Amino acid sequence: METIQQQIVALQVGAKRLKIAVITLASVIVVGGFVAATRPAGDATFDIITCKGWRVVDSDGKARITAGTEANGNAVVQWFDKDGKPRIGAMTFANGDASVAWLDKDGKQRITAATDADGDASVLWIDKDGKLRIIVATLADGTITLPTKDFKKP
């Protein structure tokens, strides 16, 4: 009889342990489901996001677009190619100027469009060696300029 009694006690202890394990597992599943249900799993919509900067990354985690403000009052947005090289940069300056620059695959500035706080606006074309070739500008007083420097027809 003692053997049967010992077996019954062992079964009761095992049943208690199994009951605790099942309750624990069920709790983990319920909590996990709740967390998954409250976390956005894709696109999100916000009315306003306030931050000092942001990065858009590709599937490899490389920054492809960055935006931020600098301590000197400038604001910058940059686009990068798949190799992480800057290709486009847009900037507003604390003094009221603004510009957008396009860079070649080697990171050299090739085209820039700008407006100055004083009312001037211009577009510059720069060759692969960094030499300024063409400037087109409209000045604040309405004057139009189209000077060229060492321009060669293709």
pLDDT per residue over 46-95, tens digit each?
888 888 899 999 999 999 999 999 999 999 999 999 999 999 999 999 99
84: enclosing H helix or E strand: none
88-136 pLDDT tens trace: 999 999 999 999 999 999 999 999 999 999 999 999 999 999 998 888 8
What total of structural domains would you count in the chain? 2
Whether residue 62 sits in one domain with residue 1: no
32: enclosing H helix or E strand: helix 2-38
In a domain, 152, yes or no: no
Whether residue 76 sits in one domain with residue 126: yes
Query: 73: domain range?
Result: 53-145
The model's pTM is 0.65
> Do the beta carbons of residue 112 and residue 97 sit within 8 Å?
no
Whether residue 66 sits in one domain with residue 36: no
Residue type, 106: D
**Which among 92, 93, 91, 124 is positioned nearest to 109, based on CA atoms?**
124
Give dist(CA 68, CA 89) in Å, integer.
12
Whether residue 9 sits in one domain with residue 68: no
